[in-house]
Amino acid sequence: MKVATRFVLTLLALCFAAAQATPPASVLAYRVQGATTSIEGSFDYVSAEQASGRVFVGRSFGVEVLDGDRMTTILERKVVASVLLIGPRLLLTTNRGMNSATIMDRLDGGVLADIPTGQSPDGAVYDEASGRAFVMNGGSKDITVIDIATQRAVARIALDATPEAAVVDGAGRLFVNLEEKNEIAVIDIATQRITVRYALAGCQEPTGLALDRVSGILAAACRNGVLKFIDSRDGQDRGQLEIGKGADTSIFDVDRRVGFVPCLDGTLSIYRLDDGGRVTATQRLKTRVGARTAAYDSRRDRLYVAVADVERDPAGKYLRARQNFQVLMIGSH
C-alpha cells in the first residue's frame, strides 16, 4: 500500500473516531431518562462534579448531594442558594438567610470558613486565574470578592441593579447579568470596576448566563422567553432564540457545541452554536413545570434538572417551588 493511501485512510479513521466520540449537537436527541426524589423543600443552583458524576443542589435546608440514585445532606444550613465547586475538593455555598458564604471540603463535609457577604447572596462564580470567587448579593446590589487561598472577603463591587448569574472569561473579565437594567455588566477583575455595559435588547429580567470561549458569544437567558446572544468582546447583538418562559439557567458545552436552557414552564430549550457564533435551535423538550435550574455533566453528556411543584399567588405570579422535589436526569443515549 502506498504511503499516501495509508495516510488518507488513517486520517479518515481518525475523523470517524472523533465523530463517534462526540457527535454534533444537531444529530443528538435528548430525553428524560429518569428522576430521583428527595425530601420536601425549595431549591436553587445545581452543580455537577465531572470526575465522580456527583450532583450538588442548594436546598432550603442546606446542600444535598445526588450520588448515583441516592441523595444525602452534607451541609445543614438555612436556605443555600449557590453551590460552587472549586478545584478537586472545595465547595462554596451562598447562604441567603445568613448573609454569608461557606467554604467546605466537599469530600468529608468539613466546614473550613464562614465568610460575611452582602445581603441575600445568590449566584457565585470562581475565577481560577485570580483564585477569587465572586458572590452576587441581590439584597444589597453588590458583589463580594472572596480570596479562596486566605478564605476571607477582600473587596466589594458596588452595582446599581440586582446581579443574577455571572461568568468569567479566564482573561481577566467578569460578566454579570443585571436584572432590572436588562444589561450585562463587564467588570475588570484586576481593578474591580465596571468597564462597559452591554444592552440586552428585547430581554426582560436576564437570569442565567453562559459563555462560549471559542466564539466569544455570551448566552443570556431572559424570563420573558428570550435567549439573547451577545459578543463578549464588543457587546454586539448576535441575535436571539425563542425559549420557554421563566428561564433561570443558561448552560453551554464547548466540546459538543450544545446549549441548554431549562424554564419554569416545563420546557428545556436546546440549541447548537458553531465556532463562528451561528445559532441553530435543535430541540424543545418537555420536562416538568417548575424545572428551572440545572447542571451539565459533560463527561457523561447528562443534564441534571432540579424541580418541585410551583406555588403561585392569587394573581398567578410565581412564588416558590417546594413540594414533590425531584432531580430529572436528561441525556442523549
Residue-level pLDDT at 314: 80
Same domain as 219, residue 327: yes
> Is residue 215, in this structure, part of any structural domain at all?
yes
> Of 66, 152, 142, whose CA–CA distance to 103 is shortest?
152
Name the grid cell of 98: 445568613
> Is residue 83, in this structure, part of any structural domain at all?
yes
CATH of the domain at 133: 2.130.10.10
The contacts found for 190-199 with CB under 8 angstroms, 24 or more apart, are 190/130, 192/145, 192/155, 192/157, 193/157, 194/157, 194/159, 196/235, 197/235, 198/230, 198/235, 199/235, 199/237
Residue-level pLDDT at 5: 43
Same domain as 318, residue 249: yes
Same domain as 54, residue 127: yes
What is residue 12's three-state secondary structure?
helix
Q: For the chain, how many structural domains are there in total? A: 2
> Is residue 149, in this structure, part of any structural domain at all?
yes
Domain boundary among 103, 134, 158: 158
Specify whether the CB–CB gap between 152 and 161 falls below 8 A. Answer: no
Same domain as 76, residue 136: yes
> Is residue 6, in this structure, part of any structural domain at all?
no
Specify whether the CB–CB gap between 293 and 45 falls below 8 A. Answer: yes
Residues of the chain with pLDDT under 50: 1-23, 25-26
Instruction: Kindly report, residue by residue over 260-295, the tens digit of the pLDDT.
Output: 999 999 999 999 999 999 999 999 999 999 999 999
* Longest Cα–Cα distance in the chain: 77
Same domain as 330, residue 209: yes
> Is residue 164, in this structure, part of any structural domain at all?
no
Same domain as 214, residue 146: no
> Is residue 222, in this structure, part of any structural domain at all?
yes
Left (φ > 0), alpha (ψ -120 to 50) or beta: where does 307 sit? Answer: beta
* Residue at grid coordinates 425549595: 42
Name the grid cell of 133: 470567587
Can you give the residue range of the structural domain that contains 115? Answer: 43-158
Residue-level pLDDT at 27: 54
What is residue 298's three-state secondary structure?
coil
> Is residue 26, in this structure, part of any structural domain at all?
no
Same domain as 232, residue 146: no
Residue-level pLDDT at 10: 42
Tell me the sheet residues that pair with 331: 31, 302
Same domain as 330, residue 221: yes
Residue 302, amino acid? R
Count CB neighbours of 135 within 10 A. Answer: 29
